[in-house]
Amino acid sequence: MLQQISRSIYRSVATDIRPDRFGGIDQTAHMRVQKSCDENLGRLLSDREYFAKPAKTLFQEVRAYFPLDSQQRLWAVIDRHVAVATRYVDSLPKTGVDIQGNPIECRATTRRGTNCRRTPLAHNGYCPSHQHLAQTEHVLSIAA
Ligand SMILES: [Zn+2]
């Protein structure tokens, strides 16, 4: 799904990518635009809680490959597609369930004040991003 959205962004804007200095297709620019689309949508899936402005980030990464007069359209395409991708990612079931079918979630609270929805590591109940909290807890338990 995200791969399709990424492709769709690229296809929608590919003809606007600046030509190389001989007026031909700039393969490097095309590859970089595709790569940026893939990477940012991938990050949306793997790092949803901490990826604050995905559309803006992607736009900033690729805008240099487009002439000024097509950047407004570029932004519109990216913004629309990233909104769809974000809704899709948010609609996914929470990752990981325990043996009773209850979702397993990281024990941490995010900066937004919501529960972290990532899958925790089995040994301490915190996801990879919140491992530092487990360490703090360990230090506190030694001190107590
Ligand atoms: Zn977490």
Q: What is the pLDDT of residues 53-93, one digit of tens each?
A: 999 999 999 999 999 999 999 999 999 999 999 998 888 76
Instruction: Report how far residue 2's alpha carbon sits from residue 41's, in angstroms, rounded to the nearest whole number.
Output: 6
**Which of 91, 108, 131 represents a domain boundary (last residue)?**
91
My answer on whether 67 and 105 are in the same domain is no
Instruction: Report how far residue 66's alpha carbon sits from residue 14's, in angstroms, rounded to the nearest whole number.
Output: 9
My answer on whether 101 and 132 are in the same domain is yes
* DSSP state string for 2-53: HHHHHHHHHHHHGGGSPP-TTSS--HHHHHHHHHHHHHHHHHHHHSGGG---
Whole domain around residue 31: which residue ranges?
Answer: 2-91
My answer on whether 37 and 77 are in the same domain is yes
Between 137 and 32, residue with greater pLDDT:
32
CB 108 within 8 A of CB 127: yes
**Total domains in the fold of the chain:** 2
My answer on whether 50 and 110 are in the same domain is no
My answer on whether 6 and 74 are in the same domain is yes
Taking the centre of ligand 1 as the mean of its atom positions, its distance from the CA of residue 130, in whole angstroms, is 5
Query: Residues with beta carbon < 5 A to ion ligand 1?
Result: 106, 108, 116, 118, 127, 130
Instruction: Report how far residue 2's alpha carbon sits from residue 10's, in angstroms, rounded to the nearest whole number.
Output: 12
Q: Any idea how long the chain is?
A: 144
Instruction: Report how far residue 33's alpha carbon sits from residue 61's, in angstroms, rounded to the nearest whole number.
Output: 8
My answer on whether 39 and 76 are in the same domain is yes
My answer on whether 84 and 32 are in the same domain is yes
Instruction: Report how far residue 121's alpha carbon sits from residue 11's, in angstroms, rounded to the nearest whole number.
Output: 38
Q: Can you tell me the mean pLDDT for 12-38?
A: 96
Confidence of residue 117 (pLDDT cuts 50, 70, 90): confident
My answer on whether 120 and 64 are in the same domain is no
Taking the centre of ligand 1 as the mean of its atom positions, its distance from the CA of residue 119, in whole angstroms, is 7
**pLDDT at 101 > cutoff 60:** no
Taking the centre of ligand 1 as the mean of its atom positions, its distance from the CA of residue 78, in whole angstroms, is 28
My answer on whether 35 and 83 are in the same domain is yes
My answer on whether 104 and 65 are in the same domain is no
Residues above pLDDT 90, as percent of the chain: 51
My answer on whether 51 and 105 are in the same domain is no
Taking the centre of ligand 1 as the mean of its atom positions, its distance from the CA of residue 133, in whole angstroms, is 9
My answer on whether 115 and 138 are in the same domain is yes
Average predicted confidence (pLDDT) for the chain? 87
Taking the centre of ligand 1 as the mean of its atom positions, its distance from the CA of residue 97, in whole angstroms, is 15
- pLDDT at residue 93, as a whole number: 65
Taking the centre of ligand 1 as the mean of its atom positions, its distance from the CA of residue 122, in whole angstroms, is 12
